[in-house]
Chain A
Amino acid sequence: MVTLDATPIKDWIESLPKNDTIEKLKRLNEVLFTDPDPQVGQTPKEVIWTKNKAKLYRYRPYKEKTNKVPILMIYALINKPYILDLYPGNSFIEYLTDRGHDVYLLDWGTAGFEDRHMKLEDYIVDYIPRAARKVLKHSGAKEITMFGYCMGGTMTAIFTALYQKKLPIRNLILLTSPIDFQDAGLYTNWLDKRYFKLDHIVETFGNVPFEFIDFGNKLLNPLSNTVGVYVNIASNVDNEEKILNWKLMQKWLNDGVPFPGEAYRQWIRDFYQENKLINDELEIRGERVLLSNITANLLNIVATRDNIVLPQQIKPLNEKVSSKNKTLHIVSAGHVSVITGKRAVAEQYPYIEQWISDNSK
């Protein structure tokens, strides 16, 4: 959210003759400049483990835990995880805990300059398995459900492929997680080795600033992401519910964290530029990642209007895994609306919750 002194604008609006348009303009000024940010991530939680900047949360359910298999959520390194617990009534985590699920989330925190040498494999080998063990121990459960969103889902899939035989991973749920980078849409062009000076960027920045990555994401749909968002809120400025949802989304979209340098280098080079994962060429700490090692029950969710992770980047996973129980669930939504908003609450939440319940008995 933009923070600046809006008093002169407010004074100017106040001086204008009063009518509907001026009232709306006044409200729009408040929405854009003076209203406080909405409070996100309100589901009660406790920290059960920390490592460097990462924290493992356990969400305290309002209702008795009835599901024996705990859920561990893994999120992307570049955003904050509260998209999964956005606001009461619009929170996937709240929805699950209210239905007796035991939910844990690994929050990566904000990488500092000292973390610029952290690779993806450090997170996949040193953090996720430990977090999974902590969850199993804390919950006293015999099996675990892994849930990954966006890039966090890619990391979760790699982790599952490497640890399927070492840890009791019963279910794997992936939400808009890229696996095949053969055709990554506009990014395939923009990240072309001939033009995109990856090493120069990483060595200069250390950690790649969020704004740098956000610029690329916004450029995917420049008009809608710049003018469109303001047109949208201006035309709905008399609808408080829409204002709240708009503020929540803007807060999350503009509230990212820097991408640890080496992890960024690995992500762009090994995935976008060399597409190693789907071709069984990716090595994590010297061990080859074979997606065919995944035997857990799989729910792979594709959002057809997602322009950050395209459907063709997600679908091939189902052909690679060895899971007997695998579902490719295709929904008409965008990268974010797949998990937030009225439609997500009405359609996606019940579907995922039912799938988890059915596969956790």
Chain B
Amino acid sequence: MRRQRFWFALALHAGLLPLALLWLAPLWLMVVFATHPEQEIFRVPVPLLPGDAFMENWASLQADTNFLRALANSVVVSGLYTLGGLLLSALAGYALAVYEFRFKALVFSFIVATLTIPYFVVVIPQYILVARDLKLTNTYWGVILPFLANALGVFYMRQVFLSLPSSLLDAARVDGAGEGRIFFQIALPLVRPSLAALALILFLNAWNDYLWPLLILSQKDMYTAPVALGTLIGLTRVSWGGIMVGSALMTVPFLVLFLFLQRYFVAGITAGAVKE
């Protein structure tokens, strides 16, 4: 029995290790390519260790796209979206979990139902509304506004607030705290880890979103990082070193973050998946 287990464990690792390395290869090569001049990237065999042309590649990327501005745009958009999305999700989730009101079940099932609608059905009316009627093309608000009300976020925060003991909130009420104070000073701090998980997911979604900013932004200095990068990829003559620097800059910070905060990422992703 014990022998059998040993061989099984060995086979498990022998099967999984090459697969894991294969999975990491694109990410590793992205970093490697970001640090090599173009002729090195296209050399055969492919370089496997980082080189020293990072600054060169960065300079060419910056010249092609004003990537610094694009990164700044991305930070502003993703940051505002995360803060706004968190606040709205928390408020709505809290209301649905704690208060009783008319049509509550209806409102909740309506919110959950929107989760099942494919985004493509929404995108055209949303574009017409935001671009034609609200005239928000080339603005931060145009990018952020449609996503502020996040059904998944509301659903997630509702589940989180449901797990808070209601006696705690009642106790605060007896002590004379207002509803706003209860929410901000008691309920929110108690669910901080869940807020962190949601924040990570929201930020990442906004950070990586491509289609919507592509549609709504047409001025180069309003581009977010993915859109700026995307304009380069479609061209026939491209500076691959620069593109790889951009990809790496967009990705590596999150990989590092992911390494340390895996638990929160995973919590955020599975939040919608595991329902009782």
- A and B bind: no
Chain A interface (Cβ within 8 Å of chain B)? none
